[in-house]
Structure 1
């Protein structure tokens, strides 16, 4: 957003200016004296270097053997007079798009390992610490020793602490925020975004003691409780509050509106509901940016927004707000630079009359299915937009869009406009950095279109013809859910200049024919999704040229033959989705050990399950169903350690979109899996093992019961035998279990009745015997879960167990005795 961007630019300029001033003053001082940093500080820094792992040599200049003084070491800043270390700047470089996709991923170029942060408090004058975006696994603390340290009062000198996006940091600690706030009471800036604080149940109370805190960033931290009943939070110095992408599911908290000095609030991408307060908040004279988009807020947009004299950015899109658009726009302050109101339930007519005061607008989002667009065809706005999002307009295309020569991002969704003449539109689109056309009424052959925007997302538009050509500028191309028929001209096109395409998504089209052997032209590709088409033939040998490839989906086509050995050269491949084809041969043993999703179901693979699958330490989904596999299930599945953690299924798998307009540069990718007898799309992929419909034999290895993060297990339609182990109950998070159509025997263990998350169960067509265990969970299933087991008895089956057959007779006998007693009383 503009406000955030301007703040970043200000910070960058300030840092550059500070660096120039610092270097100039240092140069002058070097003429008169030799600078030496404090020996104690130097030893502390060397201890830190020894504790961490530094794969890229970031700390290579940190050495007591070199002539460089420690104040000249990379990332170290010292006071010009005392020469004591005051600042440590060690953030990892910008996320590399071919490395980081989700929270489980390693960052091989960043600082990693573990370190004892309490040792850094020996830097008595340290005021600024930035270790953001590294990959520290754990951080050791001895808070008691810090408090008992004679310099513990000096530790409060730290005013700036940034540990953001060290995804594994603090994950095993309770009350860590309380410890930090108690120790660093003088903090002015705190950013712990991306660190999982799911155990922090009272995070706000922990931070209230930070009376000097000016900026707080806790985005994407799995926080759940935002204290909606709290009336006032004593964060008296707070100016910036960013809590986006958490799990808040309450009403908006009262304390949020009772801070008179706050200027920036971001609670976007949560699950907040209810209405905005109708009374004027205390921040009405200070607030500059209010971001509440992508929640479940509803009701009217209050009139007090017009009294926010300093408001420059208002993000309310993707909610359930209602009301007349003309009234809302009339009440908004004219200083607005960013206004996003689309994807709500606003009503009425919007025209040029509503915008005559908004000359400063740079970002605009409008549209709902109940909103009518009525702009004059000759209108030329007084503003020049950089971002424009329009929804549900038509039948006329707003001609004023063509007057926006500064436009960089254009998103048109769910429109009924014709876009005619298309030649004019494509020419205008060439100036854009980001073009989004989704679910519009554009029936057009785009074979001869040349796309020239960095990011192109054009889904659900009924485009036909060949996949259009792209310029070297394009990095992200998404054309899914159209009617495109030929990909060969695109893949084999000649191009002047280096190709930079990283993302190619053309799923759910009508692509046919073979994939041409031209992939060597696209070595920049990171993600390829061609699922749900009519492609035939084999995967071309040139697939091995895509050494950067991370994500490959060719699911549900008509591809055949073996997976080419050249795919082994795709050493970064982490998502391989090839289900629903006619691939044959054995499952390759050379698949990358970093694989996270392996979907090879509904093919013609034969042979055994390779023992190498046990080396897939990061695997979350293993789908080998509906093939011709034989042999036993490997007894080493417990080595797939990503399926052991109870939080394994919570990690969001994300694909990088390289644009400055995505909040953190990410776009979700949905993985399709079959569970609970349904086909579901997951943004948070569940941990799943599906080996059904093969010819597997033997027993279930006990090691499988160590995969305690499993949510779905399907072993149905095989030749498996033996009894069900009591250890099945270890899979406490299991939601779907299918063991049907095998040769299992023995009794169903009573321990399974405690599997409280189990929502789908199929044990039919086996040789189970005895009574179905009592327990709320197992009794909740119908007889369909147990049919085909002739020796099973008890509810929900109608067959009674031998031990239960006497119960009705005894009950009847007691009733008869009661009847006799009643008759005696009547006679008497």
Structure 2
């Protein structure tokens, strides 16, 4: 699992035009020079076997080599030159474990070593780094660690040209004595734990250096001005570190830069329009997740080769420069979470014919959607949520035939019926997010004119105070996986056709006025009573990432939990016993309704539950003892009902605070500590009431026989029950929200989304 995460993050760091066609080309060309000889010397063979002996798991190499004679030149992963000397050790993805033997450094003709994507541990032998012959060394995606060794000051220039040590566990500062790497062309040290400042000697050491990748480390300090002396530098990536300060003017002297990526640091200052135009070869500029301020300079229009512009999550402001229209090669523009303002009509989007992704989420843009956007026929994803745009959607949007992701929420758009009527012609839409502050007080369209949307997987029309019923046209969305209609004023019952949405696994209709009993049709939804995930109908469901937090994003729907949220409605009757069929549910919320009867025993079958909220209803009877067997449960609330009896003992339910049970006068809990007014035994004084101490559980104080404290829950065996606490529905809802967020903070991950997704799914 860890290796998959590392590979994912490395791809984020490593993808780029130059890495794909230059650095990789260097490796391919160098490896292609290898030729196979007829035999190897005994000394060479011995060094190779010493490497094998150092492994604790060889992935079957020993058996393979024994089957292929005694000539190491024909062994798997080994190649030799015409003189019988080993030139290549290429053993990537072989399941190797153990340490890398220094014996490989004894191979005098060794040119290329590729041990990537294994489980090798220990340090990286200095004999490989300081080899007299090795030109390509790739040990990425292993478990190598420790501090990188320094080279002796007397070491002569080394021939190493490509060094990839990414996705390992290296620590400490980057070696300062590596100035002898005079021939280095590409260095990738990403996804490690290097600390200290970025070395300033890279360019003074090698005038050939073209690729420097240092992202996902713990580098501090400022960006070394000396990087501007790298006359051949094409790619600089140092994102996801702890870098501070401004971009040094000297950096812009590296005029061949094609890829400048420094996201998620603490860099600041303004973009200098005079300096930035020096980078006329720039194809990708990524400064997202920093503290840059000021405007986008007009001179950005002179970067005619620019394909990707990422300035998201900064403090930038001002209007978009009209000169942006001159960057006709733009494919991606990401400006979300800034303070940009003015009208979008300042930019003539009709000249951006290559534009595929436009993300303007959470800024202060005003006016209407510019008609010129509809000339961007290659546009795949458009997100303009969280601005101050108004008006109605233009029918011209139907000309965007490649559009799969559209997010318009949290603006001031009107006429939802017209909006859906127009959008039904966007046949490739997979994600449609249009709620929030749009369409306030309008009616949910009911008529048959709303059709189409045959590829829609995610639909959010949340937070718009829409009236009416859950409309029948939703039943035709046969590929729908996620439906979010929360925070409206929808009424009437849940329709029985809900069972026919065979792929729906995430349903949130909370905070409406839905009435009637909870229908058994919900219990027949295939994706909620199956451990299977929906088949990947279209992997582009989220062409733009959906953010739960600035550091956590989702690209596919299957990353989200299976949810049934009916909280804060007007449901009556009993919880159906058939609820036990939904054994794949992760979140179940029936809170703040008028449900009665007992908690069904069948809830105990929901072994995947992480959140169960039944608070603020009229439930009676006892809490089923088998609920303590729901071992993944991280948030639990049955407060403000009419439950009775003892709270079941056991590890799981005992971890929840008294607030999860309060408001049930007949409910009791086994309590180890006596109250402070007890006359039994000595007392050393009360646990301080209120504030921080009141948030801790009983277990936090047990084992102190002289300590006492007030208890919210009626102690089993006591003859007097405490008065029930009265709490409003809204208070209960936010209390539940906090409980979910709290559990998410401690490892549940996706659960936090249930609080914030209505913002991002707007």
TM-score normalized with structure 2 length:
0.65
The 1-side partners of 2:311 and 2:600 are apart by: 53
1:605 maps to 490
| 1:766 CA displacement | 1.9
1:568 maps to 451
Q: 1:790 to 1:253 in 2, by over 3 A?
A: same
2:21 maps to 5
Q: 1:697 to 1:13 in 2, by over 3 A?
A: farther
Work out which of the residue numbers 433, 454, 464 in structure 1 matches 2:341.
464
Is structure 2 residue 411 aligned with structure 1 residue 533? yes
- The SS at the match of 2:318 is coil
1:370 maps to 244
Q: Would you say the 8 A contact 1:409–1:433 is kept in 2? A: yes
- The SS at the match of 2:410 is coil
Q: Deviations over 1:301-339 (max 9, x none)?
A: 233654556653334457664323354536864433211
Q: Would you say the 8 A contact 1:3–1:289 is kept in 2? A: no
The 2-side partners of 1:316 and 1:620 are apart by: 41
Is structure 2 residue 208 aligned with structure 1 residue 335? yes
The 2-side partners of 1:618 and 1:226 are apart by: 41
Q: Would you say the 8 A contact 1:653–1:685 is kept in 2? A: no
Structure 2 unmatched runs, 5+: 1-15, 31-56, 66-74, 79-88, 105-109, 129-133, 153-157, 672-711, 721-762
2:259 maps to 387
| 1:715 CA displacement | 0.6
| 1:390 CA displacement | 4.4
Work out which of the residue numbers 185, 191, 197 in structure 2 matches 1:312.
185
| 1:681 CA displacement | 7.4
Q: 1:524 to 1:12 in 2, by over 3 A?
A: farther
Q: Would you say the 8 A contact 2:187–2:212 is kept in 1? A: yes
Q: Would you say the 8 A contact 1:767–1:790 is kept in 2? A: yes
Q: Deviations over 1:100-122 (max 9, x none)?
A: xxxxxxxxxxxxxxxxxxxxxxx
Structure 1 unmatched runs, 5+: 15-177, 187-208, 219-224, 658-665, 673-679, 807-828
| 1:477 CA displacement | 0.4
| 1:436 CA displacement | 1.4
1:727 maps to 602
Work out which of the residue numbers 346, 355, 370 in structure 2 matches 1:474.
355
- Select between 442-451 and 428-437 the one with higher mean Cα deviation: 442-451
Paired residues for 1:280-295 under 5 Å: 288-290=162-164, 292=166
Work out which of the residue numbers 142, 149, 154 in structure 2 matches 1:278.
149
Q: 1:13 to 1:587 in 2, by over 3 A?
A: farther
- The SS at the match of 1:751 is helix
Q: Would you say the 8 A contact 2:367–2:389 is kept in 1? A: yes
Q: 1:180 to 1:719 in 2, by over 3 A?
A: farther
- The SS at the match of 2:592 is coil
Q: Tell me how many residue pairs correspond in the alignment.
A: 577
The 2-side partners of 1:765 and 1:572 are apart by: 42
- The SS at the match of 1:670 is strand
Q: Would you say the 8 A contact 2:517–2:571 is kept in 1? A: yes
Q: Which has the higher contact order (CA 8 A, sep 6+)?
A: 2
The 2-side partners of 1:305 and 1:707 are apart by: 60
Is structure 2 residue 327 aligned with structure 1 residue 428? no
2:425 maps to 545
Q: 1:309 to 1:423 in 2, by over 3 A?
A: closer
| 1:419 CA displacement | 5.3
Q: 1:746 to 1:689 in 2, by over 3 A?
A: same
- The SS at the match of 1:511 is strand
1:84 maps to none
Q: Would you say the 8 A contact 1:397–1:418 is kept in 2? A: no
Work out which of the residue numbers 516, 522, 527 in structure 1 matches 2:400.
522
1:253 maps to 121
- Select between 322-331 and 397-406 the one with higher mean Cα deviation: 322-331
- The SS at the match of 1:573 is coil
- The SS at the match of 1:493 is helix
- Select between 648-657 and 553-562 the one with higher mean Cα deviation: 648-657
Is structure 2 residue 364 aligned with structure 1 residue 483? yes
Q: 1:473 to 1:185 in 2, by over 3 A?
A: same
Q: Would you say the 8 A contact 2:226–2:250 is kept in 1? A: no
Q: 1:215 to 1:183 in 2, by over 3 A?
A: closer
Q: Deviations over 1:48-68 (max 9, x none)?
A: xxxxxxxxxxxxxxxxxxxxx
Paired residues for 1:700-711 under 5 Å: 700-711=575-586
The 2-side partners of 1:723 and 1:243 are apart by: 54
Paired residues for 1:611-760 under 5 Å: 611-637=496-522, 639-644=524-529, 655=540, 668-670=545-547, 684-760=559-635
- The SS at the match of 2:596 is strand
Q: Deviations over 1:185-225 (max 9, x none)?
A: 69xxxxxxxxxxxxxxxxxxxxxx9767946469xxxxxx9
Work out which of the residue numbers 765, 789, 802 in structure 1 matches 2:640.
765
Paired residues for 1:25-44 under 5 Å: none
Q: Would you say the 8 A contact 2:100–2:121 is kept in 1? A: no
| 1:276 CA displacement | 4.4
The 2-side partners of 1:273 and 1:604 are apart by: 57
Work out which of the residue numbers 334, 339, 359 in structure 1 matches 2:231.
359
Q: Deviations over 1:520-569 (max 9, x none)?
A: 23232110112333334325120111110011112322323224755531
| 1:774 CA displacement | 0.7
- The SS at the match of 2:317 is coil
Q: Would you say the 8 A contact 2:165–2:190 is kept in 1? A: no
| 1:285 CA displacement | 6.6
1:799 maps to 714
Paired residues for 1:69-80 under 5 Å: none
Q: 1:464 to 1:3 in 2, by over 3 A?
A: closer
Work out which of the residue numbers 388, 412, 417 in structure 2 matches 1:510.
388
- The SS at the match of 1:569 is coil
Q: 1:274 to 1:332 in 2, by over 3 A?
A: farther
The 1-side partners of 2:220 and 2:401 are apart by: 48
2:99 maps to 231
The 1-side partners of 2:62 and 2:456 are apart by: 43
Work out which of the residue numbers 349, 372, 377 in structure 2 matches 1:493.
372
Q: Deviations over 1:71-111 (max 9, x none)?
A: xxxxxxxxxxxxxxxxxxxxxxxxxxxxxxxxxxxxxxxxx
Q: 1:231 to 1:441 in 2, by over 3 A?
A: same
1:781 maps to 656
Q: CA RMSD in A?
A: 4.5
